[in-house]
Structure 1
């Protein structure tokens, strides 16, 4: 791992830990606890992204991965689209498996993020765009890329995906993180471009926000209508 990648990891860890200082400071300035949490996340994520970009660019010769080769722009564009469907398919299969083995859907981490978006809609930009960029740089470009120098694809993707789930404090849904982590890693290897898994990750998070926040009320209403319709149809068949 190059020294620049070590700095990326350090910045990411500092970003994750910075809330222990930043949130109390904002709280002392008469922001509410929730406002302090949202505002500090927005500040820390944005600053981390700026630092990441300064560290990564320009690309240096020594950073080139021996097993990753950039494909053509057309090929990358194609997989930018196909990758979105691949990631959703991987996530769907993982959710089905978790359901079959008795794991309840949903997570506290997701609920906490969605509540922050409802309180401050601009936070959706952090969740849908900035977060995925940071995570793909850290977990695919840096961690997966480093593991992939020494190990095969399967082990490298598995290790990076497990760390990915640990960072989100969502061990119960490690299968989902592993599945999407494999999909993101595959897209990175397939195209040699970190932008492709970033776009897939952005699409996945954006879809979750649209479904669970923007159209949440309409979806609940539709579900209630479907339940009522089932009751009516059920009555006809009694």
Structure 2
């Protein structure tokens, strides 16, 4: 692995744990400089620091990545732009289909649907709407750089696509800290790795990931209650079911 990639991974991990220092700092600044109440800052500190840390993390990581790209001379030629656009759009449906399949398997295994991670994100958005930038845009871009560009890409230089995609996707799933839904995150990660492998453009998997997250967040806020949306994963079922029915129509 290139040293720049190692630095990016360190920066990403540091960003994840930066709340240890960042949140107390935001809390004190809110009280002393902006004269907010202690109760207000208890509620707002976490979402504010999430937005700050992720945006700063993205800026730092993109800078390091650009330096790494300038030093890379033997890159594989990416798919033409027109074909990449088609894959990016189709990739949105691919990610939903992967999650739909995972949900069906989890249901058969008796795994209760509902994501604590999703509920937490939606709660933070209600407190501080700018968090939607992190959940829908900044977060997915960072994850594609770390888990697909760096981890999958580095593994791919030594192993087959399947092994590289599987290992990187399991790591991606474990990073979300929801072991009951490891299969869901793994299949999602694998579908995104496939998009990157097929097009050799990280922007393609980024686009699919960003669009998918945005659709999920918007659709869940459109539900009557946040809890109902998180528990039923309706958007996955609707889109996945649409793809399944369309495929069945053409191949039967």
Structure 1 vs Structure 2 CA RMSD = 1.7
2:109 is aligned to: 101
Secondary structure class of the residue paired with 1:184: helix
Separation (CA, whole Å) in 2 of partners of 1:38 and 1:23: 9
Residue segments in structure 1 that go unaligned for 5+ positions in a row: 221-238
Q: What is the 5 A alignment of 1:1-238?
A: 1-29=1-29, 30=31, 32-58=41-67, 59-62=69-72, 64-65=74-75, 68-213=76-221, 215-217=222-224
Separation (CA, whole Å) in 1 of partners of 2:178 and 2:225: 28
- TM-score scaled by length of structure 2: 0.82
Number of residue pairs the alignment of both structures matches? 217
Secondary structure class of the residue paired with 2:224: helix
- TM-score scaled by length of structure 1: 0.86
Separation (CA, whole Å) in 2 of partners of 1:124 and 1:178: 23
Structure 1 residues 34, 160: closer, same or farther in 2, change over 3 A? Answer: farther
**Range that drifts further, 53-62 or 103-112:** 53-62
Separation (CA, whole Å) in 2 of partners of 1:18 and 1:218: 32
Question: How many Å apart are 1:64 and its aligned residue?
Answer: 4.4
**Range that drifts further, 190-199 or 156-165:** 156-165
Question: How many Å apart are 1:161 and its aligned residue?
Answer: 1.1
Question: How many Å apart are 1:60 and its aligned residue?
Answer: 2.6
CA distances 1:62-115 after superposition (whole Å, capped 9, x unpaired): 3645xx540101110110111111111111111111011101111211111110
2:247 is aligned to: none
CA distances 1:188-227 after superposition (whole Å, capped 9, x unpaired): 01000000000110011101111112x123897xxxxxxx
**Range that drifts further, 83-92 or 53-62:** 53-62
Cα pair 1:34 1:116 within 8 Å, conserved: no
Cα pair 2:173 2:189 within 8 Å, conserved: no
Cα pair 1:2 1:63 within 8 Å, conserved: no
Deviating 4+ runs (over 4 angstroms): none
